Amino acid sequence: MANSAIPRDFLKNVLQNGMGRYVCQLQRITFRFCKSHPGSRHMRDFVENHLLDFTKKNPGVVVYLQPRRHRPPSIVAEFLNGRRETMEMIGKEPGEICKWTEHMRGRSGVQIVNMIRNNHTETPSTQGIWHPFMFRDSTTALAKFPSSQYSAVKQTGKTATDFILEEVKKK
């Protein structure tokens, strides 16, 4: 009802990434800015001073620069699973743009929604799922009743009488 209205999904690991080799899921990143408008000032600063550090560290990510006249600055990240994420960079200083770029690099392309569970496993059971007959003696299935074995009084431990008798026997 109300729960289904809020988008939520299980945790996912895209194509078992990291099991053999880790593959960066960010395919390409586009930096959009205006060459003249003051709103793109920080973005231009980033492109001039910080962008090449990012490209050197991440040779597997394709970087595009897209100057767009009279439009606000933004970044568009495209991931290997085909998803596209756009983020506006108006008013964000070069340091912050660096951080958001790094954030895009660290993501898998999966959509960010409410996480149902903080883990996911394909094999939840190692020792077998418990069932009521798991640790029971299977000979009970063949038992015929009345049975002297199953009707026997369970031993509760040493009683005081037994203790006294032992003491007496010792003497």
Name the one range near other proteins by CB under 8 A: 9-17, 35-43, 64-72, 143-151.
9-17
What values do phi and psi take at 49, rounded to 5?
-110, -30
Residue 102, CA distances (Å) to 83, 99, 108 in order: 17, 5, 12
Report if residue 131 touches other proteins, rule: CB under 8 A. no
Name the one range near other proteins by CB under 8 A: 36-44, 65-73, 110-118, 139-147.
110-118
Q: Which of 38, 82, 128, 146 binds other proteins (CB under 8 A)?
A: 128
Report if residue 103 touches other proteins, rule: CB under 8 A. yes
Report if residue 112 touches other proteins, rule: CB under 8 A. yes
Residues 76, 43 contacting (CB under 8 angstroms): no
Report if residue 158 touches other proteins, rule: CB under 8 A. yes
Amino acid, res. 103: H
Handedness of CA 6, 79, 74, 51 (dihedral sign): positive
Residue 49 CA to residue 72 CA, distance in Å, equals 20
Distance of CA 144 to the CA centre of its chain: 53
Report if residue 171 touches other proteins, rule: CB under 8 A. no
Report if residue 154 touches other proteins, rule: CB under 8 A. yes
In the complex, the residues that contact other proteins under the rule CB under 8 A are 11-13, 16-19, 22, 24-25, 103, 105-108, 112-115, 118-123, 126-128, 135, 154-160, 163-164, 167
